[in-house]
């Protein structure tokens, strides 16, 4: 997949925002360096953020794979990691537990025709690299960014293998992951319309009182209680 591909508006805006944040942060470091000692002695708290610390926030990965780190992993290693750190929420085979999402199965064709299509890694996600990005950025639940690059590649390989997208023996790295074409790659399209089409309204925007139609918990989409791992830890303390 070419790194010059035109990205969806959402990803282009996110990348631009991250670039702006990084530039502003670097500029702030330069401007504050002269006053750092004075501020620290006056306030007695905090320390000046260095470029290395700032760079830790710049971990986004583009849909075409730009930003993927060095490392590698396969489904065999990923299966062991998944069983230990993911299965308690997502099920032994990616079938999901409770309100935690299903990761395996589904059919891209049902996204347009099915009444309630199963949106999984295999049926919904349009780009393989953003699966790595999401796992590294947000998983496991409650322990985000605790996985190494190799572990994340391995988990990504396991999930793609479980969805019959790659062979079990495939070794993923930055190059091989970016080269994968997902089943729903053509299911997303560029919307030519502007993000906002309605006239903004700040006062008296409705004819009558505002009514709340429902809540996420009533719709049964919000998991109850603690995540399974944290619940088990809490139970151990009680015992």
- pLDDT tens by residue, 182-202: 999 998 887 777 776 667 777
Domains and CATH numbers, the chain: 1-58 (no CATH), 62-189 (1.10.760.10)
Which segment of 59-63, 107-111, 220-224 scores lowest on mean pLDDT?
Answer: 220-224
- Here the tokens at position 62 are 């583009």
Q: What is the pLDDT of residue 147?
A: 97
Q: What is the pLDDT of residue 160?
A: 98
Q: Convert the pLDDT of each residue in 150-166 to its tens digit.
A: 999 999 999 999 999 99
Helices first, then strands: H and E counts in the chain: 10, 2
Residues in the chain: 239
How far apart, in whole angstroms, are the C-alpha atoms of residue 135 and residue 178? 16
- Confidence (pTM): 0.64
Q: Convert the pLDDT of each residue in 55-95 to its tens digit.
A: 888 889 999 999 999 999 999 999 999 999 999 999 999 99
- pLDDT for residue 3 is more than 50: no
- pLDDT for residue 97 is more than 80: yes
User: By percentage, how much of the chain surpasses pLDDT 90?
Assistant: 46
Q: What is the pLDDT of residue 209?
A: 78
What is the average pLDDT value for the chain, to the nearest integer?
81
Q: What is the pLDDT of residue 112?
A: 80
Q: Name the pairing type of β-strands 171-172 and 73-74.
A: antiparallel
- Residues in CB range of 199: below 8 A, 6 or more apart: none
How far apart, in whole angstroms, are the C-alpha atoms of residue 96 and residue 75? 19
Q: What single string gives the DSSP state of each residue in 11-65?
A: HHHHHHHHHHHHHHHHHHHHHHGGGHHHHHHHH----PPPHHHHHTT-----TT-
User: By percentage, how much of the chain surpasses pLDDT 70?
Assistant: 74
């Amino acid at each position: 997949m070419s790194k010059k591909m035109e990205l969806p508006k959402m990803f282009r805006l996110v990348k631009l925002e991250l670039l702006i944040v990084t530039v502003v942060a670097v500029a702030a470091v330069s401007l504050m360096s002269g006053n750092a000692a004075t501020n620290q002695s006056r306030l007695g708290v905090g320390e000046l953020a260095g470029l290395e610390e700032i760079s830790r926030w710049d971990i986004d990965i583009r849909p075409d794979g730009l930003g993927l780190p060095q490392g590698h992993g396969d489904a065999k290693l990923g299966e062991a990691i998944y069983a230990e750190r993911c299965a308690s929420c997502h099920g032994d085979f990616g079938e999901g537990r409770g309100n935690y999402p299903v990761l395996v199965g589904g059919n891209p064709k049902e996204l347009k025709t099915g009444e309630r299509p199963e949106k999984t890694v295999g049926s919904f996600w349009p780009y393989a690299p953003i699966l790595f990005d999401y796992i590294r950025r947000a998983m496991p639940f409650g322990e985000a960014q605790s996985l190494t690059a190799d572990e994340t590649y391995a988990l990504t390989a396991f999930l793609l293998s479980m969805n019959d997208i790659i062979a079990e023996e495939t070794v993923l790295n930055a190059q091989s992951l970016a080269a994968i074409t997902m089943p729903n790659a053509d299911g997303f399209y560029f919307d030519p319309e502007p993000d906002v089409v309605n006239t903004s309204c700040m006062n008296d925007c409705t004819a009558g009182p505002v009514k709340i139609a429902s809540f996420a918990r009533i719709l049964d989409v919000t998991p109850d209680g603690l995540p399974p791992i944290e619940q088990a830890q809490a139970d151990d303390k009680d015992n």
